[in-house]
Structure 1
Amino acid sequence: METDLLTQKVIGCAIEVHKELGPGLLESSYECCLMYELAKAGIVAKNQVVLPVNYKGVLIESGYRIDILLPKKLIVELKAVDKLSPIHTAQMITYLKLSEIKTGLLINFNVQKLSDGLKRISM
């Protein structure tokens, strides 16, 4: 599936979760519900995927976890914060570099309109 179409489908699933739950819950609640919607849409995804750091050819687990990974295609990082900040973008860029995946979605569910909490990042 082409990345643009895939990101549109993921965003559609996230909008469904946000319409149902609204803002104000914990990130983990949105993650579980989004995983449900992705599976319902036939999108293969994994959550809480360990992302090791490759240091001099040695893979070191250093605590990084991708919220939702669509293997070899897309990273989805979820937030439930007042607003997305530069550190969230930096986190996504780091995840994209470490995973060698080209596209990521930052989704902040703590907004009145989900489109105000979306950011697509491409490398």
Structure 2
Amino acid sequence: MVFEITIQIRVANFQKGLHWYQLLLGKEPDFIPHEGFAEWELIPGSWLQVAEGKPSVGSGPLRLAVTSIEDMRDKLRDLEIEDVEVHSREGVPVKWCTFSDPWGNYIGLFEYLNKEEEANRAKEILKK
């Protein structure tokens, strides 16, 4: 039985990567077990690790659900990520975008179009 997930992203410069991901996620890491390594629990049981090392360019994307892609696009501009195009398609219940961090790791954001569905999904996930 799978009950938890951890995804690791590598960055060539740990201090810059730590700062960049703190700004993206809007919080300090939840756990820094040793130099060159930090972890954020994004939702209960789902961890993002940022580790110093050779980036896996083109990996991913790691897709994160957000409540407002537009608000996150503003935050991305602060992180020097420009020209993020938001996509949608008939029959798909979300809009989404994909970009890469400064080390080439692909990251995506998605937002539920139906806010009631979004609230129900968040409630279901966060109660577990």
Quickly name the TM-score band, shorter chain normalised. 0.3 to 0.5
Q: Give the TM-score taking structure 2 as reference length.
A: 0.32
Q: Give the TM-score taking structure 1 as reference length.
A: 0.32
Q: Which has the higher helix share?
A: 1
